[in-house]
Amino acid sequence: MHCIRCRAPANVEVRRHRSAFCAACYPGWFRNQVERAIGEEEMFTRQQRVLVAISGGKDSLALWHALLILGYEADGMYIRLGIGGYSKRSQEASERFAARHGLTLHQVRNQREGKPCAACGTVKRYHFNKVAVDLGYDVVATGHNLDDEAATLFGNVIHWQTDFLGRQGPVLEATHPKLARKVKPLYRLAERDTAAYAIVERIEYILEECPMAVGAKSLLYKDALNRLEESQPGLKQRFLAGFLKRGKEALAGADPVTIRECAECGQPTTAEVCAYCRMRERKRRQLEQRAAAGS
């Protein structure tokens, strides 16, 4: 197999594109994909300020790295979730990357709220949005890749969550003054593409997955899609692209959404009280009950 650009022996194969690249040409192809996603979906410009959600893993660091080389103004933000050694190592990787490249990395501390990954998602969405709006960033960029997006789509389709389906996409517009615009510049790049980019570019990311994610349904969906991709290369990309082109618009009308401000914290939400405040209230009551039972 040879690099489709320079005919040197290939290091990285991208089967769904029937392409292969040597280590010298690959990063250029990768960043070109990122640039095309940003341009075609009108995610942001070089005049805007981008806040990148950083976890210390390959996707978020590869994204930050690519944005810098492409000449975008991108700061990072890391949330300390206190998940034992995993959080410690992911924080170190994030700080090391920022220090090495002389970048700004904002940090917020929020203990994880129990096991479910949904709670972690709520915490992250809350803080990334709040910091972006408070500090005047134009947009929040996350490292969600093709596999993440296809798995989320798969889960939402399996359960026909038409409310989520109507909103899923590479760009989530800010439909309220306190809501940051959210974009996913890696949505057309597979998990193995970002891993290859991180390796070729010598990005020191943490390899381990969050220990809380073990048994998460999203991993089952990824596994199911990976098996189908084996026999039908490109299936994941076509699944996501077909949804964005044909499915999404039809489904978006099914559940129109109204954004208002949370009665507790003032942050934007579709409910009376936002998911973050409801979660904290549940936690507070649990602690009260435990204290009462102990006394």
- Residue in 18, 100, 115, 245 binding its own copies, rule: CB under 8 A: 245
Q: Is 295 in the site for its own copies (CB under 8 A)?
A: no
- CA dist 187 and 195 (Å) reads 14
- Locus of tokens 């039908």: 232
Looking at the DSSP assignment, which residues form a beta bridge with residue 79? Answer: 108
User: Alpha carbon of 206 to those of 16, 105, 274: distances in Å?
Assistant: 27, 17, 32
Shortest distance, CB of residue 140 to its own copies, whole angstroms? 28
Q: Is 115 in the site for its own copies (CB under 8 A)?
A: no
Q: Is 235 in the site for its own copies (CB under 8 A)?
A: yes
**Which residue lies nearer to its own copies by CB, 105 or 220?**
220
Contact 176, 259 (CB under 8 A): yes
Shortest distance, CB of residue 228 to its own copies, whole angstroms? 6
**Which residue lies nearer to its own copies by CB, 167 or 176?**
167
Contact 218, 152 (CB under 8 A): yes
Q: Is 216 in the site for its own copies (CB under 8 A)?
A: no
- Residue in 86, 137, 243, 276 binding its own copies, rule: CB under 8 A: 243
Shortest distance, CB of residue 260 to its own copies, whole angstroms? 24
Q: Give the CA angle between residues 195, 105, 118 to the nearest 5°.
A: 65
Strand 268-269 and strand 260-261: the pairing is antiparallel
Sign of the Cα torsion 18, 24, 27, 32 reads: negative
- Residue in 160, 207, 260, 266 binding its own copies, rule: CB under 8 A: 160
Task: Kindly tell me the burial class for residue 192, based on how many C-beta atoms sit within 10 Å of its own C-beta (0-12, 13-18, 19 or more).
Answer: middle
- Residue in 159, 282, 284, 290 binding its own copies, rule: CB under 8 A: 159
Shortest distance, CB of residue 159 to its own copies, whole angstroms? 6
By CB under 8 A, the residues from 22 to 41 that bind its own copies are none
Cα torsion 268, 270, 271, 276 to 10°: value is -50
- Residue in 11, 107, 162, 218 binding its own copies, rule: CB under 8 A: 162
**Which residue lies nearer to its own copies by CB, 141 or 157?**
157
- DSSP structure class, residue 170: S
Q: Which stretch binds its own copies (CB under 8 A): 36-44, 115-123, 226-234, 268-276?
A: 226-234
> Which chain residues interact with its own copies by CB under 8 A?
157-160, 162, 217, 220-221, 223-224, 227-228, 231-232, 235, 238-239, 242-243, 245-247, 249-251, 253-254
